[in-house]
């Protein structure tokens, strides 16, 4: 068997310029090595590589299985990069993003900027490299949300002090799925949705007239949808007038969502002081509130509308 030399020399031109031709297999090997060693070029802007926030990390392996009995794991919100991405005014469809291949698994940091989790700091395998990169990217480019215990040392180290508590991670994932379902219902029209779905969507988008319409259609004001009752959702995502409207229609103030959180507790957790004041006022209405309630009951009993 004849082996090819790893290079050969030729001359070219009037000056006899020396040209070295590398064997194709050697050249391919050099390209692979360079690709592994060279870091991605830092960029700025949304979706850009952010080396100051973590940069390039080691190759990821089986991150969701403890490598040893004493391994340290952390709870983490995990998602995948959406396969088809829409870009620009022409709605061009691309596979994956500039930095992530389609379906790449990413590990999401908790909210860091108070921006509603629109842009997320994530860790994932960079496109064209076996190593991990830390980037900031739009939430809309992610799907398949879930909560996992992660043991990969680089992910654990990168999260640092910004680590998820299990309940906070589960609440965040439920919130994302909750909003996605509501947006889909709104896109198709609330009249086409079931009354409870229409009610919850109207609560999230702060639409008092649609709330009234959903209740007129027979929506259960205390029905739990995707983990929330309308009142706990309003206390978490909406405003004081929406909360007040639901309470006026008889919403149960002590009912908890699937995470065991009542409307008052949700308002406290999110620093919604005006919402909390409305709930507490309803719980302790005072003499005028009691008289007003009795007057409404008497009017209803007498049919005097």
- The reply to whether CATH 3.20.20.300 applies to domain 174-302 is no
Across the chain, which distance is largest between two alpha carbons, in Å? 113
- Looking at residue 302, its pLDDT comes to 54
Alpha helices in the chain (DSSP H): 24-37, 153-159, 166-188, 195-204, 208-216, 230-237, 240-248, 263-269, 273-283, 286-302
Token pair, residue 276, equals: 């909390």
- Measured CA to CA, the distance from residue 81 to residue 279 in angstroms comes to 40
Position 288 confidence tier, pLDDT thresholds 50, 70, 90: low
* Among the listed residues 73, 64, 43, the one whose alpha carbon sits nearest the alpha carbon of residue 135: 43
Mean pLDDT, the chain, rounded, equals 76
Answer whether 60's CB lies under 8 Å from 132's CB.
yes
Asked if 79 contacts 99 with a C-beta cutoff of 8 angstroms, the reply is no
Residue that the structure tokens 């007040």 belong to: 244
Contacts of 134 (CB under 8 A, 6+ apart): 50, 53, 54, 55, 57, 121, 122, 123, 158
**Phi, psi (deg, nearest 5) at residue 186:** -65, -35
pLDDT band at 294 (very low <50, low <70, confident <90, very high): low
277, two tokens: 């004041």
The per-residue pLDDT for range 201-245, each reduced to its tens digit, is 999 999 999 999 999 999 999 998 878 899 999 998 878 999 999
Assess whether pLDDT exceeds 90 at residue 199.
yes
Given a cut of 70, whether residue 287 has pLDDT beyond it is no
Decide if pLDDT at 192 tops 90. Answer: no
d(CA 198, CA 202): 6
Domain borders along the chain are: 7-37, 51-164, 174-302
pLDDT of residue 3: 47
Quick check: 9 and 20 in contact, CB under 8 A? yes
Q: What is the pLDDT of residue 63?
A: 62
Helices 273-283 and 230-237 cross at an angle (nearest 10°) of: 140
**Residues β-bridged to residue 256:** 262
The CA distance from 114 to 233, in Å, is 19
Residue 16: both structure tokens together? 């006899």
- Across the strands, what pairs with 87? 92
Q: What is the pLDDT of residues 136-169, one digit of tens each?
A: 998 888 989 999 999 988 899 998 888 898 888 9
pLDDT band at 249 (very low <50, low <70, confident <90, very high): very high
pLDDT digits (tens, 9 = 90+) for 69-112: 777 789 999 999 988 777 767 767 878 888 899 999 999 999 87
**pLDDT (tens digit, 9 = 90+) per residue, 120-131?**
999 999 998 888
Those residues whose C-beta lies under 8 Å from the C-beta of residue 262, and which sit 6 or more positions away, are 232, 253, 254, 255, 256
Of 161 and 45, the structure prediction assigns the larger pLDDT to: 161
The answer to whether residues 97 and 122 touch, using CB atoms and an 8 Å cutoff, is: no
């Amino acid at each position: 068997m004849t082996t090819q030399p790893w290079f050969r020399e030729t001359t070219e031109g009037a000056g006899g310029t020396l040209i070295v031709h590398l064997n194709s297999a050697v050249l391919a090997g050099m390209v692979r090595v360079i690709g592994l060693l060279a870091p991605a070029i830092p960029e700025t802007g949304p979706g850009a590589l952010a080396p100051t926030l973590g940069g390039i990390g080691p190759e990821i392996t089986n991150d969701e299985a403890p490598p040893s009995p004493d391994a340290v794991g952390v709870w983490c919100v995990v998602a995948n990069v959406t396969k088809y991405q829409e870009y620009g005014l022409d709605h061009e469809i691309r596979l994956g993003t500039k930095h992530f291949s389609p379906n790449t698994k990413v590990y999401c940091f908790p909210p860091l900027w108070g921006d509603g989790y629109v842009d997320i700091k994530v860790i994932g395998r960079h496109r064209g490299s076996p190593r991990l990169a830390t980037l900031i990217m739009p939430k809309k480019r992610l799907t398949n949300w879930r909560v996992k215990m992660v043991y990969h040392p680089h992910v654990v180290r990168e999260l640092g002090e910004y680590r998820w508590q299990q309940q906070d991670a589960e609440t965040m994932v439920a919130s994302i799925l909750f909003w996605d379902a509501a947006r889909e219902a709104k896109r198709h029209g609330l009249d086409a949705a079931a009354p409870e779905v229409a009610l919850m969507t109207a609560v999230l988008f702060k639409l008092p007239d649609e709330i009234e319409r959903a209740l007129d259609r027979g929506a259960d004001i205390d029905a739990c949808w995707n983990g929330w009752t309308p009142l706990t959702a309003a206390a978490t995502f909406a405003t004081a007038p929406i909360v007040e409207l639901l309470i006026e229609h008889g919403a149960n103030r002590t009912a908890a969502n699937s995470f065991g959180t009542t409307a008052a507790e949700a308002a406290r957790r999110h620093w919604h002081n005006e919402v909390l004041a409305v709930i507490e006022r309803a719980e302790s209405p005072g003499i005028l509130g009691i008289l007003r309630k009795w007057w409404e009951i008497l009017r209803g009993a007498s049919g005097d509308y």
